[in-house]
């Protein structure tokens, strides 16, 4: 199912929390469902997801995904890697640029190390919430190509999620459409045309920091444990 705003000139969100509140209103049919788990793609998806989890009364956790950038053109995604080392490739980019397996493996290894660092930073020794048998709402601050979200979706399918819902405040129209075949429900609050870039649809799109992610997770009860005085 796709939710769209058909405004000819949709307003920009003030910031990610504002976007999360707007998106939560489109997900209210999940409020109070004990099976629901909200997973944020860090960093930018965390403030958005926090508002959704609070509105739905659902637990919040992170699901770490790293884009695999083309060497020398890192803004272009050749694929993505997710928690559990699930790898998703952008086949069109790989074929067009004739990217070799060796290059893919080298980029994946580098981003895999950063993925593990972020998981340690955000979660410490606390295990990830098990998505098996749950309704999982996966949240980011927007979808452009959708490469990182596809990696997350594939990994969560492998881990036994019962129902997968992708929810974003803003998305490229074709990307939002494409996800209809990949998840049980796709919720895109806005699909502006022309889209151009996620950040254009926010007044404040400043980078979310690791410290902000940790703070939000602690506030929601999903953050890493504080060290004791004896540690």
Which of 165, 190, 155 has its CA nearest to residue 84? 155
Model confidence at 76, in pLDDT bands (50, 70, 90)? confident
Interatomic CA distance for residues 148 and 151, integer angstroms: 5
Interatomic CA distance for residues 31 and 211, integer angstroms: 28
At 182 the pLDDT is: 92
DSSP string covering 139-178, please?
E-S-BSS-HHHHHHHHHHHHTTBSEEEEEEEEB-HHHHHH
Interior CA angle at 52 toward 39 and 191, to 5°? Answer: 90
Residue 128 has pLDDT above 70, yes or no: yes
| Residue appearing with tokens 């939000």 | 216
Q: What is the pTM of this model?
A: 0.84
Contacts of residue 69, defined as CB under 8 A and 6 or more positions apart, other chains included, come to: 75, 76, 77, 78, 107
Question: What is the rounded average pLDDT of the residues 43-65?
Answer: 96
Contacts of residue 155, defined as CB under 8 A and 6 or more positions apart, other chains included, come to: 63, 82, 83, 84, 86
Question: What is the rounded average pLDDT of the residues 10-19?
Answer: 91
pLDDT digits (tens, 9 = 90+) for 161-205: 999 999 999 999 999 999 999 999 999 999 998 999 999 999 999
Please answer whether residues 133 and 162 qualify as being in contact, where contact means their C-beta atoms are separated by less than 8 angstroms.
Answer: yes
Question: What is the rounded average pLDDT of the residues 63-79?
Answer: 89
Q: Where are the alpha helices (DSSP H) in the chain?
A: 16-25, 45-56, 91-97, 101-123, 147-158, 173-178, 210-220
Interatomic CA distance for residues 70 and 92, integer angstroms: 13
At 111 the pLDDT is: 93
Model confidence at 225, in pLDDT bands (50, 70, 90)? very low
Element (H, E) at 135: strand 135-139
Complete edge-to-edge strand list for the sheet that includes strand 36-40: 60-62, 36-40, 135-139, 163-170, 185-190
Q: What DSSP character marks residue 90?
A: -
Model confidence at 80, in pLDDT bands (50, 70, 90)? confident
Interatomic CA distance for residues 203 and 208, integer angstroms: 14
């Amino acid at each position: 199912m796709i939710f769209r705003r058909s405004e000819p000139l949709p307003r920009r969100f003030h910031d990610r929390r504002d976007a999360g509140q707007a998106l939560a209103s489109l997900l209210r049919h999940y409020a109070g469902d004990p099976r629901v788990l909200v997973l944020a793609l860090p960093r930018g998806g965390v403030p958005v997801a926090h508002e959704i989890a609070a509105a739905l009364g659902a637990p919040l956790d992170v699901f770490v995904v790293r884009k695999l950038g083309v060497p020398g053109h890192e803004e272009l995604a050749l694929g993505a890697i997710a928690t559990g080392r699930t790898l998703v490739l952008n086949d069109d980019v790989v074929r067009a640029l004739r990217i070799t397996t060796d290059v893919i493996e080298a980029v994946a290894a580098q981003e895999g190390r950063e993925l593990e660092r972020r998981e340690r930073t955000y979660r410490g020794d606390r295990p990830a919430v098990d998505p098996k048998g749950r309704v999982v709402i996966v949240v980011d601050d927007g979808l452009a190509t959708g490469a990182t979200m596809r990696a997350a979706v594939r990994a969560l399918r492998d881990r036994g999620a019962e129902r997968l819902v992708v929810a974003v405040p803003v998305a490229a129209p074709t990307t939002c459409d494409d996800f209809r075949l990949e998840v049980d429900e796709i919720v895109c609050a806005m699909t502006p045309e022309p889209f151009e870039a996620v950040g254009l649809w926010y007044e404040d799109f400043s980078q979310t920091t690791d410290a902000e992610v940790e703070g939000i997770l602690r506030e929601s009860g999903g953050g890493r444990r504080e060290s004791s005085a004896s540690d």
